[in-house]
A and B are shown apart, each in its own frame.
Chain A
Amino acid sequence: MWIRLRIADLETIVHYTGIFVAGIGAVMVVPLATAVLAAEWAPAMDYLLGIGVALVVGLSMALVRPAQHRITHAHALMIAAFSWLACSLVAAVPLAFSPNYASYLDAVFDALSGLTTSGLTVVSDLDHMAYSHNMWRHLTHLIGGQGIIVAALSLAIGLRGGAFALYLAEARDEKVLPNVVNTARFIWFVTAVYVAAGTAVLFVLNLVRGMVLSRAGLQAFWMVIAAYDTGGFAPQSQNQLYYHSAIFEIVTVTLMMAGTLNFNLHAAVWRGNRKEIFRNIETRTLAFSILAISLIVSLGLAATQYYDAVPSVIRKGVYHVFSAHTGTGHQTLYPSQWAGDFGQLAFIGILLAMGLGGGMSSTGGGIKALRVGLLFKAISNNVREAISPRSALVQTRYHHIRDKVLTPELTVSVLIFFTLFVLSYVTGTIVGTGYGSPLMDAAFESVSASANVGLSTGITGPAMPTGLKLLYIVQMWIGRLEFIAVLALFGYVLTALRPSRTS
């Protein structure tokens, strides 16, 4: 049974969505400042307009009176689903005015890809993009990765009650600290530490390699937030390949792993519980899966004509397994190389890594390691039940921060998410194939979009059909919010359209 949406509910949703939209406008001050400092006057105009539009739209929405009662779980789902879309539409405004985007839709594609930390891009002539536009593109990773809603929470802007519901609606599974605002602040603290440390290391590396000061700093910062937020954008068209550096790759892969780690784990380890990282079901699943898939990819590459040498296996094979599994999507291959010289076995390995995805309560996407781990626990539980006497009570325990029992409800939830993700992967593949892409390419791109990874076989680009752009936009949006919020939105819209029965 669906609960009908009343006008009062709608007002609440519009009000809170407006706050987030206005927030996007406020953050646009950073690219504006970049434009002014770099004397990029054309983009400076774009950001003045962007800020104006975002603030006026956002504040107008915020003027709508919210409901007097607390935000319910249903409200939170709607707000999350709406906010991500509304924020993308607004974040795209300045990009749409840059010569690098052919249309507003293209700008929306990149804004949403950035906010969902996917990294697929339809930009053109990226190598001549303004610093300010690149700043904004990469900042969307930071805003979206740390969570539009978490961002708002950390500033504790008037979300009395229901803050936790919002936090959950944004596909974050649990509180790290007893208080939601503290949780949000901790998430930002971890981010600040990693971003500062990573930027410092890459900045020095870039300087040593002879880059000019400003470019060394900006590119270090951008690549670090793209890697840490498991995003995948890069300031140059060759993506990570532009840098031609093994050290650069080691640093970014380390950041990718940090970014895909559950914030609860960060909290446990930073409290001094160092063993947690080795005992946790999620890190164990991730470690096992990355190792197993790396073996598959290595076996695949060893049989290829071009990538059979050990350095190639590591820098083209293992590197991309990490990039795919963490949901980042930085790549050091040209898109056209995936389907050919990389070999089919290695290709499937990368596909699998993307689909499984990173950690819960992180910026990673995909099915996520905790669910994969629990799925295997559930299977083993079933087998044990089958071979035990009927009277025996079979119980499976797992360790995630503390020891927990695998309940039937949890198993069902895991299976539902698993099925939804696979459905999305398959649907996208079918549609992509319908548009004339080869099956494997379509599958790769579909999984990459749904799991918010960003690796590309070259289907994604400014010239792709509008239908495909819309498909990947929906996949990235729905995958980031883990279906429920978006499906609930559809459900409400459908019930609202259905004529009410007079009983």
Chain B
Amino acid sequence: MRATTSRAGLTLAAASLTAAGLLASALTPAPALAAWISPAEVVADVNELDGQTVTMVGEAIGDTMRADQDHVWINVLGDGTAVGVYVSNEDAAEVEGLGDYDRVGDRVSVRGVVNLACEQHGGDLDIHAVAPLEVLEPSAPIEHYVPVWEGILGAALIVVAGFLFRAYRARRLGWVEARRR
């Protein structure tokens, strides 16, 4: 399944090279075709994509990290794989929510050049953005179910452990006494 979608993504990515107008349609909320690829597909098909301009959509995660020449790094996650995006400060301005335990990060669309081994960045596999990052869906908090029973059981066990510890200490004294005799 992944192979077919990525091939579709590939052809479209190639087509988008020639037709700049495709960009606009690719970024509309409900495109007729999957006009973008996920970070996992970028890594899986990197040999074919190397040097090409693609549109990658995924979740911005973690941190914005300052890079060289007024650029930053934003890592974008999709299908379990994250890819670093090298983007200028102003092009990254729209991205605010970064994914972590408490929230899903901004769902961003990145248009940029794929590098299998980026010469500027020591051979890293990365994407150099050529257009401003666009936020398709803003970041949202994640609700976590809190398993209170675990805490209650844990607390009960800790109380039991307290008694065990007292018993252990008493016994140990006995053992030491026995050894002395």
Contact = CB atoms under 8 A, between A and B. Distances in A.
Given A66-B175, A237-B81, A244-B73, A334 B43 contact: yes
Interface stretch (A125-133, A187-195, A252-260, A487-495): A125-133
B157 A52 contact: yes
Interface string B43-67: 1101100100000000001111111
Interface of A: 25, 38, 40-42, 44-53, 55-56, 59-60, 62-63, 65-66, 68, 97, 124-125, 127-131, 158, 206, 208-212, 215, 236-238, 241-246, 306-307, 309, 311-312, 314-316, 332-334, 336-337, 340-341
Residue among B77, B117, B158 having the largest count of chain A Cβ atoms under 10 Å: B117
Contact of A238 (B44, B82, B122, B153): B82
B178 interface: yes
Given A56-B164, A59-B161, A244-B84, A236 B75 contact: yes
B144 A41 contact: yes
Contacts of A38: 101
Interface stretch (B21-29, B133-141, B166-174): B166-174
6 contacts: A210-B64, A210-B66, A236-B82, A241-B125, A242-B82, A333-B125
A42 B149 CA distance: 11
Contacts of A40: 101, 144
Contacts of B142: 128
Contacts of A208: 66
Interface of B: 43-44, 46-47, 50, 61-67, 72-73, 75, 77, 80-82, 84, 86, 99-101, 116-117, 119, 121-126, 142, 144-148, 150-151, 153-158, 160-161, 164-165, 167-168, 171-172, 175, 178-179
B47 A341 contact: yes
A59 B157 contact: no
Contact of A341 (B82, B116, B160): B116
B63 A244 contact: no
A123 to B, nearest CB: 11
3 pairs of A and B residues whose beta carbons are closest in the complex: A52-B157, A312-B123, A48-B154
A12 B168 CA distance: 14
B77 A237 contact: yes
B172 A244 contact: no
A155 to B, nearest CB: 15
Contacts of A211: 63, 65
A340 B47 CA distance: 10
A97 B116 CA distance: 37
Nearest to A312: B123
A245 B171 CA distance: 55
A318 B101 CA distance: 34
Contact of B101 (A56, A128, A332): A128
A125 B64 contact: no
A55 B157 CA distance: 8
A116 to B, nearest CB: 25
B80 A312 contact: no
Contact of A307 (B123, B156, B158): B123
A127 B82 CA distance: 9
Given A130-B101, A306-B116, 11 more contacts: A38-B101, A45-B151, A48-B158, A52-B154, A52-B160, A55-B158, A128-B142, A236-B75, A238-B82, A242-B62, A337-B125
A311 B164 contact: no
A469 B101 CA distance: 26
Given A40-B101, A242-B82, A311-B119, A210 B154 contact: no
Contacts of B179: 68
B147 A210 contact: no
Contacts of A125: 80
Nearest to A211: B63
Nearest to B72: A210
Contacts of B160: 52, 56
Contacts of A316: 117, 122-123
B122 A314 contact: yes
Contacts of B75: 127, 236, 238, 242
Contacts of A44: 151
A52 B66 contact: no
A133 B66 CA distance: 27
A97 B147 contact: yes
B84 A49 contact: no
A53 B157 contact: yes
A340 B117 CA distance: 13
A312 B115 CA distance: 13
A274 B178 CA distance: 49
A237 B124 contact: no
A244 B144 CA distance: 31
B150 A128 contact: no
A97 B149 CA distance: 12
Given A125-B80, A127-B82, A316-B117, A52 B153 contact: yes
B150 A46 contact: yes
A312 B150 contact: no
A10 B142 CA distance: 48
A203 to B, nearest CB: 13
Given A52-B155, A131-B101, A42 B147 contact: yes
Contacts of A337: 46, 125
Contacts of A41: 144, 146
Contacts of B125: 241, 333-334, 337
Given A52-B161, A127-B99, A316-B123, A65 B81 contact: no
A312 B157 contact: no
Give the most central of A49, A50, A63, A246: most B CB within 10 Å. A49
A187 B124 CA distance: 36
B65 A332 contact: no
Given A55-B158, A236-B75, A209 B66 contact: yes
Contacts of B101: 38, 40, 128-131
Given A127-B61, A130-B101, A243-B65, A51 B158 contact: yes
Contacts of A243: 65
B80 A124 contact: yes
B124 A306 contact: no
Nearest to A462: B80
